[in-house]
Amino acid sequence: MTVGADMDKKSKNKLRKKAAAAELRKNIEPMDKVNWSDSSKNSYAYESPVRNAYIDSAYRCTKCHQVAVFSAKAQKYTYEVKKSYICQYRTLCPECYYSLKNLVNMVNGFEELWAKENESTKHTAPYIIEWLDALQQFPKYGKKANQAIINMLNNHISKNS
Ligand SMILES: [Zn+2]
């Protein structure tokens, strides 16, 4: 065996050990399927004998591409307390999830303001551009943009300019 191949084998073993150690560090939580939602109970996962515990699960955020962990504890809470559907996984890291939440709150706030406007005050509403900008950010988070409101705002802008 050449020295190079030996080194390669050693570093491969090191990586394998590292991966095994990472597996051991993963937290595990018991799975109580009786607490699942009805739709989760109708899923394949309900019958699956291999789905019998929650294990820390790493994923890559679809917005910022950072690696995040959906912890075993958070999974238990999500599926057994919040009753989310069992096949629903996380796609955003915590930071991006909170900025999406802020975006949703912002848009809801603008909608409330808009509902209180009358035909004449609509012309001078100072938040139209900010609202439009917020709506256009949704696809970056893997969410659908509300095209109906975007169109309405664009019409409003072109009519008032
Ligand atoms: Zn992220």
Q: By three-state DSSP, how is residue 4 classified?
A: helix
* 22 CA → ligand 1 middle, Å: 22
Do 78 and 108 sit in the same domain of this protein? no
Q: Are 128 and 93 in contact (CB under 8 A)?
A: no
* 95 CA → ligand 1 middle, Å: 6
Residue 29 structural domain? 3-91
Domain boundary among 75, 91, 107: 91
Do 83 and 107 sit in the same domain of this protein? no
Evaluate if pTM is beyond 0.75. Answer: no
Q: What pLDDT score does 14 carry?
A: 85
* Gap between the Cα atoms of 57 and 40, Å rounded: 19
* 67 CA → ligand 1 middle, Å: 8
Domain boundary among 61, 91, 121: 91
* pLDDT tens-digit readout, 50-61: 889 999 999 999
Domain boundary among 91, 113, 132: 91
